[in-house]
């Protein structure tokens, strides 16, 4: 079991120490930050939502600052003189010395607080509430409180009453937060709906790239994304017509070449036995095999072939192929210890086995050991491997060996035979059965592994 990464808490530490768990959370968040940032930068949906939020925040800030400037300017020019005049009248209305009854009536009518300090009268409309405020150098109370000095030595302080209850403020704050989250969720859903065609277009392009033109992109939109989907579908239809035309031409040419090749082979066999005749027959045989492989590869790649599957013992099929085609060749066999019966197309599986073994034999002519063919029955399905003990191929050629007509060394291929379709056909047969084909250097030699489904 791998050890936990540095900075992350183990389950035992998390269960035994809350301190460790709390300390690991920031480390985990920091470790995930680059991945989250990459996903955000890649996702057009989240980038648009973020842009909307940033725009809303900027507009709110600009609006608040503008309103504040407007109110401050309006208060300084209009409201401040009126308030100052009103406070002078209010202080004069209290009389000299100040009347507490008039102050109480004023407090009852208006949302203000009055405090009187002086040699005769000391009175506070809200005695239980200490403001904690201090006067500045001009005698004006900080936080908006204002004082008036009377002629008899009393000081009258005017201020606003306490703000609304804290619970109401919290309720308003939570309501604003809920409304903001609702707006974000609405924006995200709307953007997701707007950008949904991009996902459908991406999935359709991947299908078309695999050669699957059976389903068009289902986008019923009359906007630019809908037009883009229709254009991609039109392009895919054009590509399908071009590929079908190319495939049909190739199949027609291959079929037409079979008859002249058959006649040429019959005529070549009538020639006297010689090195030239044998070379001619060999070349005609290679052309015949090439045409057969081309026809089979086009059927498998185009999906025109329907597998004729039947329960088949893979061990018995392997032994039958070796007895039929490689009886005089030296091959090491390692069949599965138990019967491996699968629904297989016997004709195409024989083609796969024959090509793999023939490929291994051609590259084992100077090897110290014969090719090894092994079958193992694993939990994920049977595994067929064919290995030669030749020189192998450079690593940069491995991903391309199963491509049609690919040759790692054209001079070497001319000496050993083959046209570059054997491994390509093997890959198509394996994939038609729902399996995979992998190629690797085995040091020495090359190993081809076919994994079949159970």
Helix extents (H) in 338-443: 346-362, 410-416, 422-432
Residues 332 and 412 both lie in one domain:
yes
What is the model's pLDDT at position 417?
52
What pLDDT was estimated at residue 301? 63
Same domain, 254 and 325: no
Q: Which of 209-213, 356-360, 408-412, 446-450 has the lowest average pLDDT?
A: 408-412
Residues 95 and 194 in one domain: no
- pLDDT tens-digit map of 413-429: 444 555 567 888 888 88
Which of 272, 305, 338 lies at the terminal end of a domain, its last residue?
305
- pLDDT of the residue at 316: 92
Q: What is the mean pLDDT of the chain?
A: 77
- pLDDT at residue number 277: 81
Most confident range, picked from 321-325, 399-403, 420-424: 321-325
Which CATH number is 245's domain given? 1.10.287.130
Q: 3-state SS of the chain: helix, strand, coil percent to 5? A: 60, 15, 30
So what's the pLDDT on residue 234? 86
Angle at 160 between CA 156 and CA 162, to 5 degrees: 125
CA angle 377, 383, 388 (to 5 degrees): 130
Helices (H), 274-390: 275-302, 314-325, 346-362
Domain assignment present for residue 331? The answer is yes
Going by pLDDT thresholds of 50, 70 and 90, the confidence category of residue 298 is: low
Assign 374 a pLDDT band (cuts: 50, 70, 90). Answer: very high
The answer to whether residues 319 and 438 belong to one domain is yes
Rounded to the nearest 10°, the torsion over CA 83, 86, 87, 91 is 180
Phi, psi dihedral angles at 29 (to 5 degrees): -65, -40
Q: In what order do the strands lie in the sheet with 123-124?
A: 123-124, 112-117, 155-160, 146-149
Q: Domain boundary residue among 305, 339, 363? A: 305
Q: Is residue 386 predicted with pLDDT exceeding 90? A: yes
Does 370 map to a domain? yes
Position 202 in a domain: yes
Select the more confidently predicted residue: 73 or 4: 73
Does the pTM surpass 0.75? The reply is no
Statement to judge: residues 396 and 328 lie in one domain: yes
25 inside domain:
no
Report the half-sphere exposure of 267 (CA within 13 A, side-chain side): 7
Residue 36 domain-assigned (yes or no): no
249 shares its domain with 348: no
- Residue 112 is part of which domain span? 81-162
Question: Residue 163: what pLDDT?
Answer: 57
pLDDT at 167 (0 to 100): 57
More confident residue, 244 or 156: 156
Which range has the worst mean pLDDT, 21-30, 237-246, 307-316, 442-451? 21-30
Beta bridge partners of 148: 156
Q: Is residue 17 part of a domain?
A: no
In a domain, 127, yes or no: yes
Instruction: For residue 187, tell me if it sits in a domain.
Output: yes
Last residue of a domain, one of 136, 162, 188: 162
Which tokens in the block code for residue 134?
């201090």
Split into its structural domains, the chain has a count of 3
The percentage of the chain sitting over the pLDDT mark of 90, rounded to a whole number, equals 7
Which pLDDT does position 385 carry in this prediction?
92
How do residues 136-170 score in pLDDT, each as one tens digit?
Answer: 555 444 445 688 888 888 888 888 776 555 556 67
Contact predicate 422/355, CB 8 Å? yes
């Amino acid at each position: 079991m791998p050890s936990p990464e540095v900075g992350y808490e183990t389950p035992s530490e998390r269960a035994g120490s809350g301190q460790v768990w709390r300390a690991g959370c920031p480390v985990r968040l920091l470790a995930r930050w680059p991945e989250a940032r990459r996903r955000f930068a890649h996702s057009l949906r989240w980038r648009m939502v973020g842009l909307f939020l940033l725009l809303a925040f900027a507009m709110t800030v600009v609006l608040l600052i503008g309103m504040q400037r407007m109110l401050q300017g309006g208060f300084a020019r209009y409201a401040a003189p009126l308030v100052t005049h009103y406070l002078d009248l209010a202080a004069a209305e209290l009389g000299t010395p100040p009347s507490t009854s008039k102050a109480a009536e004023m407090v009852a009518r208006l949302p203000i607080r009055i405090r009187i300090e002086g040699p005769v009268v000391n009175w506070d409309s809200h005695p239980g509430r200490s403001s904690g405020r201090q006067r500045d150098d001009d005698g004006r109370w900080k936080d908006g409180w204002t004082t008036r000095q009377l002629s008899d030595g009393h000081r009258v302080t005017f201020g606003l009453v306490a703000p609304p209850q804290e619970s109401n403020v919290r309720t308003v704050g939570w309501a604003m937060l809920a409304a903001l989250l609702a707006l974000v969720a609405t924006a995200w859903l709307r953007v997701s709906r707007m950008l949904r065609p991009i996902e459908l277009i991406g999935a359709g392009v991947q299908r078309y790239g695999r050669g699957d033109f059976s389903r068009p992109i289902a986008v019923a939109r009359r906007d630019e994304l809908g037009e883009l989907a229709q254009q991609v579908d039109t392009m895919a239809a054009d590509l399908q017509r071009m590929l079908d035309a190319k495939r049909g031409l190739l199949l027609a040419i291959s079929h037409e070449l079979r008859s002249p090749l058959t006649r040429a082979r019959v005529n070549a066999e009538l020639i006297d036995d010689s090195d030239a005749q044998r070379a001619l027959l060999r070349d005609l045989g290679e052309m015949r095999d090439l045409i057969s492989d081309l026809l089979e590869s086009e059927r498998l790649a185009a999906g025109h072939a329907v597998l004729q599957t039947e329960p088949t013992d893979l061990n018995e099929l392997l032994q039958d192929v070796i007895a039929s085609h490689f009886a005089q060749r030296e091959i090491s066999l390692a069949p599965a210890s138990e019967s491996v019966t699968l629904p297989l197309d016997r004709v195409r599986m024989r083609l796969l086995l024959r090509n793999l073994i023939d490929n291994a034999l051609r590259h084992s002519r100077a090897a110290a050991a014969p090719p090894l063919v092994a079958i193992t029955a694993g939990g994920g399905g049977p595994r067929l491997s064919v290995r030669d003990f030749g020189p192998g191929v450079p690593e940069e050629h491995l991903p391309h060996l199963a491509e049609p007509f690919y040759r790692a060394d054209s001079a070497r291929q001319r000496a050993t035979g083959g046209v570059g379709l054997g491994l390509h056909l093997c890959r198509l047969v394996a994939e038609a059965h729902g399996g995979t084909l992998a190629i690797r250097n085995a040091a020495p030699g090359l190993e081809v592994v076919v994994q079949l489904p159970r």
